[in-house]
Each structure stands twice: as C-alpha cells, then as structure tokens.
Amino acid sequence: MPTAARITLARVADEAGVSVSTASRALRGRGDMSAVTRERVRAAARALGYSWAGESRGRPRGGTSRMFDLVLGHFHDPYTDEVTAGARTAAADLRYDLVLTTERGSPDDDWPDRIRSRGTAGVVAGLLVPSAEQLTLLTDAGIPVVLLEPPVASPIPLPSVRTTDRAGGAAAAEHLIDRGVRRFIVIGGSPPYRYGRARVAGFLSALEDRVPGAPRVATDADWGAMSAWRACAKALAELPGRGPIGLFACSDEMAAGAYRAIAEAGLTIPRDVLVIGFDDVRGARWLHPSLTTIRQPIRAMAAAAVRTLASAAAGVDMSDEVIRLPTELVARGSTRARFEPAG
C-alpha cells in the first residue's frame, strides 16, 4: 500500500465513489449527506491510510473538556426554555459551558459527528433517543449520553431523568373526582410517546378505582393546541350523560386548545367543565381562568440530567441510573368549582 504521504483526497474520493468536494465535507463532518455516504468515505480514508483533521477527535483523553451539549428537536418554546435554563444553571455551577444543538430528525442529520468533532465531554438528549448508529458514534468517542424525558426506549442502557407521569395522571383524576365530577374527557398525545401513555394510563386507572363505569371519552391530539381544539370539540359532542365534565389534557398547550372548544360549545370553565393540564409551563397561569395543572419540575430535571452527565464524564458507571422527580398538582381557577355527585 502506498504511504499516507502519497495518498491524496482525490484518491479517497475515487475509492469511495464520490466527488472530491463530497469527500472533503464527509471527512470534516460538514454538509448534508447520508450517514452511509459519510461512513463510506471515512472507511476509504482509513483503508488507504489517509489522515484528516478531526480523525481522532472526540472526548479529549485527558478529560480536559469543560463543555456539554444539550440536544433538543427544537428550542424556544415554554417547555424547552425551562429545560435550557435548568441545564445552563447546573452546567455553570459545575464549571462547564453548555452548547445548544438541534436534532433535525432526518436520516442525514450529522449532529453526533459535529459533537464528536468539537470534543464535548458529554450529551444531554432531551425528549429524544439517539439511534443505535448515532449512539455508536458517540460511545466510540468516549462521549457519555444522558436522556431527559425519553419518549421511547433506548437501544442501549443509558442513564435517564424522568418525572412521575403515571402518578401525575392519577392525581389529575383524583382531583376531578374529589370536585364531584362524574363525566370525563382525556386528551392523550399523538405520537403516543412513553410519557403521554403513562399520563393517560394513570388517569384512567384512577377512574376505574374510584368511579368505575363513569362516562368517558379518550381521544388524541398531536401535542398542539389546534389539534386539541378539534379533538375536544368532537369529544364534547360524543360524551354521554348530563352534568359537569372533567377534562384532562396531557400537556398545558393541549389544555389551552380545549379552552377554545369548550367556549365554542357554549360551556364555561369551571362552571360546566373543569380542566387540568400537564407541565405547568409559564403560560398556564395566564389562561382565563388560570389553568390547574400537573407540575413537572422541568428545570430541576434538566439540572439533574447535567449533574448525572458530569458523574458519567468523570468515569462513574451510570448506565442503568433512572432518576424520577415527583410531579405536583397545582390547583388554580379552572377547577375551582365543586359539585355534588349525582346519586
């Protein structure tokens, strides 16, 4: 085999069956391309003995990196603002910088390559679970990963921080029952992420325990207000019986959508319908009436994820660690009314 000094980028590109510019972008971790193409170029470079900048990058072997990445599918909504604030505060307390990285959810998304190339000390992945291929890229570089409220199961054991979603759903049902409600609507999330399923399951289980056979409609919305508005309008029309209604939505945003459907149906909160959301993001108290909700300690959860990541970066085995921070029901105006149960 020719020596590395004689191997050119053009030779690597020819071996991989791509253009020189594509080979260059693949080796530098830049540009949009499939992970298969990127790895084919790198495999050709390794086979030919071609060295490229960043080839051996990853977590510095001396452990000197003081930088964590927070990876989210999007930023700058009430929930992710809380996540960012909690993670940033905890990272600063630990003398780490925090880098915000967006996960696009497309097959050619190269965020693990970019993270590996800049030598981060670890990754908090919020509301997402990296693919097996992405995790391999990170773990091969010695970069630990902590999951924050993972929506699905991870392909490999990873530490995670969660809240008590099922208990929160049960608390919502208990509160509505204690207010005298005997007809119910529950709006779950679609896609049916792990935490959404747990919230609905907790709510329905509590209904079965306390008021078995009570009229109810279970429906789904796409985690947004508009979809919840449509789902709630349909559920109100379908719910049998008479008397006050208790509505539980798996997020505050979906609860806000339900407010509109309730008003358009000629009903009033809380005189006719009692509403409970989930999250307690900052807008919940500014709805009219203010929204009763299941508070999950979002900032504290993000901070716990960063602290767990710091331990993993220091070499502590955290692979099976699951941290659950408790939810809390926050009663406000949307459930202020109390009724005498019929019968």
Least confident residue range of 23-32, 64-73, 98-107, 276-285: 23-32
3-state secondary structure of 323: strand
The rounded distance, in Å, linking the Cα atoms of 303 and 322 is 14
- Please tell me the predicted confidence (pLDDT) of residue 56: 47
Query: What backbone phi and psi angles, to 5 degrees, belong to 127?
Result: 60, 30
Evaluate if residue 266 carries a pLDDT over 90.
yes
Q: What is the pTM of this model?
A: 0.82
The rounded distance, in Å, linking the Cα atoms of 261 and 259 is 6
- Name the band, by pLDDT with cuts 50, 70 and 90, for residue 3: very low
3-state secondary structure of 240: coil
In the block, residue with structure tokens 């779950």: 188
- Please tell me the predicted confidence (pLDDT) of residue 281: 95
- 205-250 pLDDT, tens digit each: 999 999 999 999 999 999 999 999 999 999 999 999 999 999 999 9
Q: Which residues contact 93 (CB under 8 A, 6 or more apart)?
A: none
- Please tell me the predicted confidence (pLDDT) of residue 133: 87
- 31-84 pLDDT, tens digit each: 667 778 888 888 888 888 887 655 544 554 444 479 999 999 999 899 999 999
Name the maximum alpha-carbon separation found in the chain: 90
- Overall average pLDDT of the 108-133 stretch: 90
- Summarize the chain as % helix, strand, coil (round to 5): 45, 15, 40
Query: What backbone phi and psi angles, to 5 degrees, belong to 6?
Result: -95, -10
CA-to-CA separations, 259 to 117, 170, 266, 290, 313, in angstroms, rounded: 47, 22, 11, 11, 45
Evaluate if residue 4 carries a pLDDT over 50.
no
- 303-340 pLDDT, tens digit each: 999 999 999 998 898 888 999 999 999 999 999 999 99
- Overall average pLDDT of the 20-27 stretch: 81
Closest CA to 135 of 144, 127, 126: 144
